[in-house]
Structure 1
Amino acid sequence: MSDDCVSDARTSDARVSGFPASGDGGNPLRRLSLGELRRRTSAKWRTYPADVLPLWVAEMDAMPAGAVTRALTGALALGDTGYPSSGTAYAEALDSFARKRWGWDGLAVERTAAVADVMRGSVEMLKLVTGPGDAVVVSPPVYPPFFGFVEHEDRRVVEAPLDADGRLCPSALEDAFRRAAAGGRRAAYLLCNPHNPTGAVHTRAELTAVAELANAYGIRVVSDEIHAPLVLPGAQYVPYLSVPGAENAFCLLSASKAWNLAGVKAAVAVAGPAAANELARLPEIVGHGPSHFGVVAHTAALRDGGDWLDAVLTALDENRRLLGELLEQHLPEIRYMRPEGTYLAWLDCRALGLGDDPAAVFLERGRVALSSGIPFGTGGAGHVRLNFAASPEVLTEAVRRMAAAVGR
């Protein structure tokens, strides 16, 4: 990168260094200045040089919910820094949240288990229903660890790509299920609901179709539902376990993404009624994964962090709209599939002619860090994933830099 480009990036960085704007204290994404954010030592803020705007990994630019801060500082004040208990407080808080937010009463606490995080828990569920060499179906483009974790456990990945609109494709699923179960082998489907990276929130009809196909081919479903609380206006989250035919499935839930708690890991595995006996076989050692602070923080978020979550959802909805406007104004060639959930935007940049990895171009020329689409698998080349859980000022500056990177 030329010295002129570095100088321009640093100058433009200064334009957003002084927010938050006055009179907007209700937006959790505008309470920290860019300078304050750059003091963080998490991956989002330490992976790239200080002149780069990081809109890549799934961390929000927000302070924690007050309920979480009080719970963690209270634990520290008591010296409550030991091993996690084997109680059910986290699962009970999640059950209460599910009833209030989603009208779902199918999360039976007795059919739950605490796990380290959603991805590790998903792997443990897959190990309950498949063996080495068995197939696990995934729907790319999808969260890259779906590939790495599955293959690390000596399972075969079989792809059922999404359709052109970034949604589940029944014909692709049926073909993949048929291939995965060939020869009578056990097989599973690792579902992402809502879907990362497209932001699709699967409908009840779509999920019912998945259950019907899974039962027809003997496929066990494990659903990663970490983004469930982050469904934006216009869509409705449907728990996979709530649809007919999903009684023998598993889902993984957590407060991690919705309350920005990736650094204090904890999650809950939930079994459908017909999978309860299998969940009961989960090795006791798996329950040692979540940290005590993780359980404390996630429980507090679910019990008392609803108002904070509502403010975040409002801010994300505004940013979702703003991003569309900015792209239309500065980069109309990019296809922006308006996400229904998550705070992740999947951008089709192929019309810009930047090759398979446009994220590399935006980083080198524009000093904006986005997630390359390539690791998301089939359908990812020519795409980037953008995290819009930032202030409107940072988002605006990021798109301005992206446009400048391609000569706009």
Structure 2
Amino acid sequence: MSIQPLDALPLETLRRRSSTKWRSFPHDVIPMFVAEIDFALAEPITRALHEAVELGDTGYTPPQPGVREAFVGFAERRWGWSVDPERVRWTGDVMMGVVELLRATVAPGERVVVNPPVYPPFFDTVAEAGAVVEEVPLLDTGDGWQLDLAGIEAALAAGARAVLLCNPHNPTGTVFPREALRELAAIAARHGAVVISDEIHGPLASSDTPFTPFLTVSADAEAVGYVVTSASKAYNLAGLKCAVIVTASEAHARIVQALPWEVEWRTGLFGAISAVAAFSSESDAWLDALLARLDANRRLLADLLAEHLPRARYRLPEAGFLAWIDVSAYGWGDDPADPIREGAGVALHHGPFFGSQGRGHVRLNFGCGPDVLREALQRIGAFAREAAAASSAGTVAELVSRR
């Protein structure tokens, strides 16, 4: 039976939101930069939060908020992953969990491997933990991206102590295959390193590229790995603050249990309440409808780019609602998000923020209604045509200044 794609909220409703997406730019700019989506919350989440507000249930998060049990059920239903509930702990968000794990496993000044182009906070989080970033970029195969396993092994052999993995990958939307993750785990085990896997986009993998949690791939992965994940990306709950840290070995479970109490106390009560509702089976139908919408949108985006920006390079992401687009052929500079925003009135994320490999790129959020996606690409296409026409008589900067 086909699943009806989820409908986005009307723009007039969305513009009443007070989140970063809707308060960063004037109303004539279409915001497609930050990872927020344009849909109503899943009804079980809305119901749980309404009840909490009606009760005035706004105090401290309890010692056992039900998050571990809810996540264990979700992982089993969605991925066939049997998680030991005693090896699940919670915190405020994924990056909080990552930085605390880095502090616990990497000494100040030691190196941590990241795979750019990658989520910009990875660079900041490594520095916050007192460690040093070592870049081992993804390999562009021409058809997609893959981990540079030989490069990662060389970095670990030379002394790097950890790999900070983005799985599925942001911004490329790559779902790494089980075989690659298994080899990564074996490499880390050979060199006594750890792998911290940010799996926040895992619930958003498309049906044709199933997501593989890192800790499930091998005994090596269980021994070297930590997973940090959250319902916040799939269910649009980032402001409520709840994530989980998962381990699969006794040694790593002891490390997580030894983290300061404050790591757990940073979890927001509304974050815990909403995570429990999101991870429940009652929210599965909503998630399936969202995935149907995102699948339609990623394909619509390919058609719109072919029509309006035919020189752009884009590959269908295998997970998430973020598109990594190379627009360097249009000559808009290393950071094309700025001229696009100023010239077309569409706010995209800055490619260079994801590493030097992002020069000439933008990241576009297609977690919206198809009508919004169409208008955005029409605007950018019109800007591209005007810029091309203006290049013989003036400059793109002059065109932008006339907007």
TM beyond 0.5: yes
Q: Using the alignment, how far apart are the partners of 2:56 and 2:285 within structure 1?
A: 28
Is 1:152–2:128 an aligned residue pair? yes
Kindly indicate whether the alpha-carbon contact (under 8 Å) linking 2:38 and 2:368 is maintained by their aligned counterparts in 1.
Answer: yes
What corresponds to 2:26 in structure 1? 49
Q: Using the alignment, how far apart are the partners of 2:309 and 2:155 within structure 1?
A: 36
1:305 to 283, 288, 291: 283
Kindly indicate whether the alpha-carbon contact (under 8 Å) linking 1:137 and 1:176 is maintained by their aligned counterparts in 2.
Answer: yes
Bigger mean CA deviation after superposition, 108-117 or 386-395:
108-117
Kindly indicate whether the alpha-carbon contact (under 8 Å) linking 1:361 and 1:405 is maintained by their aligned counterparts in 2.
Answer: no
Identity %: 46
Kindly indicate whether the alpha-carbon contact (under 8 Å) linking 1:362 and 1:405 is maintained by their aligned counterparts in 2.
Answer: yes
1:100 to 51, 74, 77: 77
Structure 2 counterparts to residues 177-216 of structure 1, below 5 A: 177-181=156-160, 187-216=161-190
SS at the partner of 1:85? Answer: coil
What corresponds to 2:85 in structure 1? 109
Is 1:175–2:154 an aligned residue pair? yes
Q: Using the alignment, how far apart are the partners of 2:350 and 2:262 within structure 1?
A: 35
Is 1:221–2:195 an aligned residue pair? yes
What corresponds to 2:211 in structure 1? 237
What corresponds to 1:250 in structure 2? 226
Q: Using the alignment, how far apart are the partners of 2:153 and 2:188 within structure 1?
A: 8
1:330 to 308, 311, 316: 308
Q: Using the alignment, how far apart are the partners of 1:27 and 1:233 within structure 2?
A: 14
Compute the displacement of 1:171 (Å): 2.0
Query: Cα distance 1:148–1:333, how it changes in 2: closer, same or farther (>3 A)?
Result: same
SS at the partner of 1:199? Answer: coil
Structure 2 counterparts to residues 3-14 of structure 1, below 5 A: none
SS at the partner of 1:232? Answer: coil
Compute the displacement of 1:69 (Å): 0.5
Count of matched residue pairs: 377
SS at the partner of 1:124? Answer: helix
2:376 to 374, 383, 398: 398
Kindly indicate whether the alpha-carbon contact (under 8 Å) linking 1:139 and 1:191 is maintained by their aligned counterparts in 2.
Answer: yes
Is 1:378–2:333 an aligned residue pair? no
Structure 2 counterparts to residues 271-290 of structure 1, below 5 A: 271-273=247-249, 274-290=251-267
Q: Using the alignment, how far apart are the partners of 1:209 and 1:323 within structure 2?
A: 33
Normalised by the length of structure 1, the TM-score is 0.90
Is 1:140–2:116 an aligned residue pair? yes
Compute the displacement of 1:284 (Å): 1.3
Kindly indicate whether the alpha-carbon contact (under 8 Å) linking 2:312 and 2:325 is maintained by their aligned counterparts in 1.
Answer: yes
SS at the partner of 2:385? Answer: coil
What corresponds to 1:5 in structure 2? none
What corresponds to 2:401 in structure 1? none
2:240 to 240, 261, 264: 264
SS at the partner of 1:171? Answer: helix
Compute the displacement of 1:154 (Å): 1.4
Post-superposition CA distance 1:284-338 (Å, at most 9, x none): 1211111111100010111121111111000000001100011111111111011
Is 1:339–2:313 an aligned residue pair? no
What corresponds to 1:11 in structure 2? none
SS at the partner of 2:165? Answer: strand
Kindly indicate whether the alpha-carbon contact (under 8 Å) linking 1:136 and 1:188 is maintained by their aligned counterparts in 2.
Answer: yes
The one-letter code matched in structure 2 to 1:350 is S
* Residue ranges of structure 1 left out of the alignment (5+ in a row): 1-24, 182-186
What corresponds to 2:294 in structure 1? 316
Kindly indicate whether the alpha-carbon contact (under 8 Å) linking 1:28 and 1:63 is maintained by their aligned counterparts in 2.
Answer: no
SS at the partner of 2:245? Answer: strand
* Residue ranges of structure 2 left out of the alignment (5+ in a row): 387-403
Kindly indicate whether the alpha-carbon contact (under 8 Å) linking 1:160 and 1:175 is maintained by their aligned counterparts in 2.
Answer: no
Kindly indicate whether the alpha-carbon contact (under 8 Å) linking 1:136 and 1:180 is maintained by their aligned counterparts in 2.
Answer: no
Q: Using the alignment, how far apart are the partners of 2:88 and 2:258 within structure 1?
A: 12
SS at the partner of 1:247? Answer: helix
Q: Using the alignment, how far apart are the partners of 1:335 and 1:123 within structure 2?
A: 34
Q: Using the alignment, how far apart are the partners of 2:327 and 2:378 within structure 1?
A: 15
Kindly indicate whether the alpha-carbon contact (under 8 Å) linking 2:4 and 2:292 is maintained by their aligned counterparts in 1.
Answer: no
Q: Using the alignment, how far apart are the partners of 2:7 and 2:95 within structure 1?
A: 26
Q: Using the alignment, how far apart are the partners of 1:350 and 1:250 within structure 2?
A: 37
Normalised by the length of structure 2, the TM-score is 0.91
Compute the displacement of 1:282 (Å): 1.1
2:139 to 157, 160, 163: 163
What corresponds to 2:389 in structure 1? none
Q: Using the alignment, how far apart are the partners of 1:172 and 1:331 within structure 2?
A: 34
What corresponds to 2:35 in structure 1? 58
Q: Using the alignment, how far apart are the partners of 1:52 and 1:167 within structure 2?
A: 34
Bigger mean CA deviation after superposition, 319-328 or 80-89:
80-89
The one-letter code matched in structure 1 to 2:102 is L
Kindly indicate whether the alpha-carbon contact (under 8 Å) linking 2:351 and 2:360 is maintained by their aligned counterparts in 1.
Answer: yes
Bigger mean CA deviation after superposition, 191-200 or 264-273:
264-273
Q: Using the alignment, how far apart are the partners of 1:301 and 1:172 within structure 2?
A: 38
